[in-house]
Structure 1
Amino acid sequence: MRVPSDADKDNRASVAYATHIATALRAETGLRLASQSSGGRFEQACANFLSTTFPRLSHLRPGDLGITKVGSRNADSGASRFEQYSHLVELSAAVEANPSLRAALGNAYAIAPDVTIARAPVGDEEINAHDWLIDDSVATRATIRAPVQPLPILHAVVSCKWTLRPDRAQNVRSEALNLVRNRKGRLPHVVVVTGEPTPTRISSLALGTGDINCVYHFALPELIEAVKTYGADDAIELLDIMIQGKRLKDIADLPFDLAV
């Protein structure tokens, strides 16, 4: 029996849900990829989806917005590239110079997103395009002004997890809390996109508030149908709680939510 790559082969419900989704989406079969390869492809698919859809909402969310799949976990690719987290460069350098700080700080400053959306700062000529609003004597610390600071402003962080095993869910939540605690200025959108077919594992991230905006499923209508077809009453109820509680949405909702 072929088992979809997002299913836990030792969990009968997981296999049933994932198989139903794959059939509904007319997914093609092939050799099973390593989990790291599947995760990388899912990140790229999410980045491609946002690159195709989000720019078409520029009338709702104007600005020069760039969508990037980060693709690596080194210091140069982390959140410190962005205006709200640029101070983390100095913190990282201090830890490198004084290893004893690492014991005290741990990895609380390490933030390595999967996909980011960032807005470029704006020149004064663009700000003054329709009316004279600004010059060198006012708003001298406004983040959006390119003459004030040149770094991109982080608009959204999208964590992409093809599956949600317990350790991955914990890592996502820890990174979201790091984004909340370590920022200077505006908090970016912090969202998760997943292909996880099991409601209990999705709930490990979706339930609760304060760190993640919302969890988005790559095939929520198909997941609902699968759980109603094969799931027990408690699985159906849990899925409904997450959806009605605005903690779980379909990926089609994501570009519109990011336009806010």
Structure 2
Amino acid sequence: MTVEAKLTEARREFHSTLLGGILTRSASGAPSNADKSSRPSVAIANAILDQLGPAQTAPKLPGQTAGADFETVCATFVRMCFEKLRHLRPGNFSVSKGGWIAQFDQYAHLDDLEAIAKANREIATALGSDYLIKPDIVVARQPETDDVINTPALLVDETTARLTSLRSENQALATLHASISCKWTLRSDRAQNARSEGLNLVRNRKGRLPHVVVITGEPTPTRIASLALGTGDIDCVYHIALYELRNALEDQGREETLELLDTMVEGKRLRDISDLPLDLVI
């Protein structure tokens, strides 16, 4: 009997959960992640859906409901996989939905900035609100006690390493390890806020830059490219079913969009959801 790899199993369970209510097919035959007004979008989404398994026939969920449910499913997937990879990335990590970035060590100074802005309208106008970032999913690492750090030998004491954020003796805040944005589809300008959030995570940090990634279920490569192409703001875009998407494009003879998809993959701008847990332990 062949043993199934844990990440393969997790990927299958991830898809099964999506098929349980988020990824459905309407009575007219349009998948819930497709743009029903776009024939290519519906065709590609249907081909992906056929590979993932039988879909429920159900009305499409309201946008906010689908988005919130998608975040929950993604958070569960990341949490479950990260737990299995502790041997590759030791430490006290947690995966949770949302939360303002000022709760983390690299961005704690933003609390002071907000207090100043609230007290002075002119400063508030000058600063704007771009720094008020609340990621959909966060991966955090708690600081370690000296007992843990000194497990193999006496590595630190009261005379050295007195500023590092990893020591709980120095500070109590968690470090933001990853910021994950979840975009069920990419059919509005709002999807581009992942770029601005990423840029602000880069600009406003004091310390280590967290992973900045996006997960999407968008079936159309041209719309994925609008977010994936370019560098500097996000690490990478992760698709819920990249292998199935590529098969769909191949089977339908969509050579131009297949070339665009391969360009994103070969350029390290697009990966499958199963790549994300391993990338996060880097």
Question: Which TM-score bucket, shorter chain as reference?
Answer: over 0.9
Is it true that 1:256 corresponds to 2:268 in the alignment? Answer: no
Match of 1:10 among 33, 37, 59: 37
Kindly report the root-mean-square deviation, in angstroms, between the aligned alpha carbons of the 2 structures: 1.1
Misfit runs of 4+, over 6 Å: none
Tell me, yes or no, if the aligned pair for 1:166 and 1:201 is still in contact at 8 Å.
no
Kept after mapping to 1: 8 A contact 2:240/2:273: yes
1:1-260 aligned at under 5 Å gives the runs: 1-26=28-53, 27-70=55-98, 77-230=99-252, 232-260=254-282
TM normalised by structure 1 equals 0.95
Residue type of the alignment partner of 2:131 = Y
Structure 1, unmatched stretches of 5+, are 71-76
- For the 8 Å contact 1:200–1:238, the answer to whether it is kept is yes
Describe the SS at the equivalent of 2:166.
coil
What is the total number of aligned residue pairs between the two structures?
Answer: 254
1:96 is displaced (CA, Å) by 1.4
CA deviations 1:80-116 (Å, max 9, x no partner) are 0100000001111111111222321222211110000
Contact 2:249–2:255 under 8 Å retained in 1:
no
Say if 1:4 and 1:22, in contact at 8 Å, map to a contact too.
yes
- Deviation per CA, 1:115-138, whole angstroms, max 9, x where unpaired? 000000000111111101111111
CA deviation after TM superposition for structure 1 residue 243, in Å: 0.8
Residues 40-68 of structure 1: per-residue CA shift (max 9 Å, x gap): 11100100101111111001001000000
Give the SS at the match of 2:200.
Answer: helix
Q: TM-score scaled by structure 2? A: 0.88
User: What is the match of residue 24 of structure 2?
Assistant: none
Q: Which amino acid aligns with 1:47?
A: A
5+ residue gaps, structure 2, are 1-27
Aligned match of 1:74: none
Q: Percent identity?
A: 54
Counterpart Cα distance in 2 of 1:259 and 1:16: 36
